Structures are given as C-alpha cells and as structure tokens.
C-alpha cells in the first residue's frame, strides 16, 4: 500500500514554528526548550545567511545525560546560504534545541524550525 503525498505530510506535520535571527557568533544558545516532561520533534529546519564562510550547527542538548545530538550542521561556502531541510528528529525528554555558529561578526543568519511537542 502506498501513501499519498498528503497522507505522508499529515503523518509528519507540525504544530508550531519558531524563528530567530542572529548577527554574530553564538555558543550553545537555547533556541527551543520543551515543556517539562515533553520531547521536541523537529519536522523541518531552514537556515539563511549572508555569510560566505563558517559553520552553523543546530543540535539537541540533554543536560541530564550530558549528551549532544546534531539536528543539522552546515558549512557555509556560498553567499547566500539558503536551504530548507525536511527531516524528522526527536530529542530526549526535556532536551533543548541549541545553536552554535562561527560565521563572524556582522554575518547575519536566520533560523526557522517547524516542530511539535510530544
């Protein structure tokens, strides 16, 4: 049995969208923190930057177990770097989504995350 594109999309929908913009390097900055006892389910991630070099990494960080799990890591080599990545990734219970970047000062970037709490 084959699912339609609509059926597949409905299986992996999202309830909320989070957006933010930065204009300098970030180190382990919280983007999203789930409600206590919940899990973040990331269903899509979009990054846009005007930088032409550096790295942006979005990841789950579980302070309780001192674990990190990369959601998306991109090495910026073109200007502008733009891309929406459909994905399905769940963090651990109570794990925050964080960002770290090394683009340099005055190198703006924008992040959009589609997600659900489960």
CATH number at residue 40: 2.60.120
Assess contact for 76 and 28: CB atoms under 8 A: no
- Alpha-carbon gap, residue 39 to 21, rounded angstroms: 24
- Alpha-carbon gap, residue 16 to 18, rounded angstroms: 7
pLDDT tens by residue, 54-69: 999 999 988 666 778 9
Higher pLDDT: 80 or 69? It is 69
- Alpha-carbon gap, residue 85 to 78, rounded angstroms: 17
Name which of 108, 117, 89 is nearest 47 in CA terms: 108
pLDDT category, 83, cuts 50, 70, 90? confident
* Domain carrying residue 44: 5-117
Q: How many domains does the chain have?
A: 1
**pTM score, whole prediction:** 0.83
> Which pLDDT belongs to residue 35?
94
pLDDT category, 115, cuts 50, 70, 90? very high
């Amino acid at each position: 049995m084959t699912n339609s594109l609509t059926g597949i999309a409905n299986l992996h929908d999202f309830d909320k969208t989070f957006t933010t913009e930065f204009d300098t390097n970030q180190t382990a900055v919280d983007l999203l923190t789930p409600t206590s006892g919940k899990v973040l389910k990331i269903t899509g991630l979009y990054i846009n930057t005007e930088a032409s070099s550096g790295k942006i990494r979005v990841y789950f960080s579980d302070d309780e177990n001192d674990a990190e799990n990369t959601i998306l890591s991109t090495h910026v080599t073109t200007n502008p770097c733009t891309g929406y990545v459909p994905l399905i990734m769940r963090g651990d219970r109570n794990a925050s989504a964080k960002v770290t970047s090394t683009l340099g000062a005055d190198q703006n970037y924008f992040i959009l995350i589609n997600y659900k709490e489960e």
